Each structure stands twice: as C-alpha cells, then as structure tokens.
C-alpha cells in the first residue's frame, strides 16, 4: 500500500524558517517525481514545487522562488521542503504528493500544518 | 500568468447530472494534461482522473472527463449524483514546467 506521511509543520514567526518532510512507503520512491501542494485555511489548492527523479530538475511557483527549496533523499524515501523568509501568506496545510510519469499526481499524504504568525 | 477558471459553486439534486468546467486563460487546453481531484472536508484530495484521461481504480464510471478545444475548457461530469459526491473539485494543468490548480468548485448535492 502506497503511503505518504508528512511531518515538521508548526508555528513560526514571520521571517523564520521551517523544513517539512514527507516519507513514502509501499513503492520504489526513487522512481517517482514528487510534488508539494499547499492549502491556506478555507482556500483552494496551490501547487508549490516539484522535483524530478534523482533531483535532476526542480520547479517552483513564482511566489516561493528564492525562499523555498525542494530536495529529496531516495535512500531515506524522503522529500523535503525547506522554507525560509516565511510570510503570513505561506500559512496552510502542506501536502506532499507522488507524481507518476504518465498518470500525474496519483497519491497524496494527509498534510502537515504550517502557521506563520507573530 | 496562466490561470484555470472554475465555477465557484454548483448545486444539484441526487440522481441528476452535473458538469464542472475548467477554462484555461491561454494556450491550448487540448494539449495540456488536465487532471481532476475531489476533496472532502478535512481530508486530502484524491485523484478522479489521470493525465492520460484514465480513471484511477476505485473511481466509479459516474465520473467522466472531457476536453472542448473550442472553448479551451476541460470538464468533469458526474452522473447519478449521490450525497457523498458533495465535496470540492479541482482541476490541475501545466504552465510550462510548473503546474496550476483551478480555484475549485464547491458541489452541493441536495
């Protein structure tokens, strides 16, 4: 059974940093692209970042470029999102999702809550 | 910036059919690999369709997707509506190397 479990969310002041993690199981982690999607309270979904197999390519939504960094450690079946210079508008639930080359996003984690507030 | 526009909300009765549209602001939605997701309150999204147009296992054939090149829109049609279909629905497409979600449609079944 495919499982994705996020962790690392919490309360951080504006300008602070946080790293959220996602561990995958039940599949060959290194064979899949991974994606981070966030959802502000009561709002829609926003694609944040994606990373290809072996980390060969990384892409970001414009609003986080230069502040967030996506990375992966295939030996630990993990993908990370390092978030720096956090803003109030970065608050929300952060989901990691598995992305199949042909099918697209096919599995989601349950998410981890990030709150940026003073 | 590329945007996907969905109706904010829709309401329909059980047993009826509803269609949710997703219109691209530019480019060709026909060549874009659109996906659809369902999200129930308090839960993570789940895929209703894949980029190749196939349905994930476990998704009933009451859910179908289509593309209309003339209006640059993708559509999700749900037939034989059930109360458990009440949820938020999101489309997802590509913008160059990134991806973009539509704003989401809140479907009420009553």
Q: Give residues with Cβ within 8 angstroms of A71, minimum separation 6.
A: A51, A55, A58, A79, A80, A82
- Cα separation, A35 vs A105, whole angstroms: 8
Q: What pLDDT, in 10s, does the model give residues A44-80?
A: 999 999 999 999 999 999 999 999 999 999 999 999 9
B92 touches chain A (CB under 8 A): yes
Taking residues B7-32, report their average pLDDT: 91
Tokens of residue A43, six digits: 């709002």
- Cα separation, B18 vs B7, whole angstroms: 12
Residue of B48, B49, B51 for testing the chain A interface, max A β-carbons within 10 Å = B51
A100 touches chain B (CB under 8 A): yes
Give whole-number Cα distances, B72 to A103, B68, B75, in Å: 21, 6, 10
- Cα separation, A15 vs B2, whole angstroms: 29
The reply to whether residue B101 touches residue A109, judged by beta carbons under 8 angstroms, is: no
Chain B residues touching residue A103 (CB < 8 angstroms): 47, 50-52, 54, 56
Q: DSSP per residue over chain B, as a string? A: ---EE--SEEEE-TT--EEEEEEESSS-GGGS--EEEEE-TTS--EESS-TTSPPPTT--TTEEEEEEGGGTEEEEEE-S--GGG-EEEEEEEEETTEEEE---EEEEE-
Chain A residues touching residue B102 (CB < 8 angstroms): 44
Q: What pLDDT, in 10s, does the model give residues B77-101?
A: 999 999 999 999 999 999 888 999 9
Question: Closest Cα to residue B66, out of B29, B12, B11?
Answer: B29
Q: What pLDDT, in 10s, does the model give residues B37-78?
A: 999 999 999 999 999 889 999 999 999 999 998 889 999 999
How does strand A68-73 pair with strand A58-60? unpaired
To which residue do tokens 């999200």 refer? Answer: B39
Q: What pLDDT, in 10s, does the model give residues A1-26?
A: 999 999 999 999 999 999 999 999 99
The reply to whether residue B1 touches residue A95, judged by beta carbons under 8 angstroms, is: no
């Amino acid at each position: 059974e495919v499982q994705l479990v996020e962790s690392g969310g919490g309360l951080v002041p504006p300008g602070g940093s946080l790293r959220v993690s996602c561990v995958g199981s039940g599949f060959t982690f290194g064979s899949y692209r991974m994606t981070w999607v966030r959802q502000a309270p009561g709002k829609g979904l926003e694609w944040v970042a994606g990373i290809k197999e072996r980390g060969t390519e990384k892409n970001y939504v414009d609003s986080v470029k230069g502040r967030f960094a996506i990375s992966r450690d295939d030996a630990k079946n993990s993908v990370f999102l390092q978030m720096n210079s956090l803003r109030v508008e970065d608050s929300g639930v952060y989901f990691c999702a598995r992305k199949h080359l042909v099918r697209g996003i096919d599995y989601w984690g349950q998410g981890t809550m990030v709150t940026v507030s003073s | 910036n590329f945007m996907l526009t969905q109706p904010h909300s829709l309401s329909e009765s059980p047993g009826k059919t509803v269609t949710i549209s997703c219109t691209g602001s530019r480019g060709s939605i026909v060549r874009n690999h659109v996906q659809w997701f369902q999200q129930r309150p308090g839960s993570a999204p789940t895929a209703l369709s894949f980029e190749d147009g196939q349905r994930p296992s476990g998704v009933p054939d009451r859910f179908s997707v289509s593309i209309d090149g003339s209006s640059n829109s993708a559509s999700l049609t749900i037939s034989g509506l059930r109360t458990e279909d009440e949820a938020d629905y999101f489309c997802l497409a590509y913008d160059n190397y990134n991806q973009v979600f539509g704003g989401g449609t809140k479907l009420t079944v009553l």
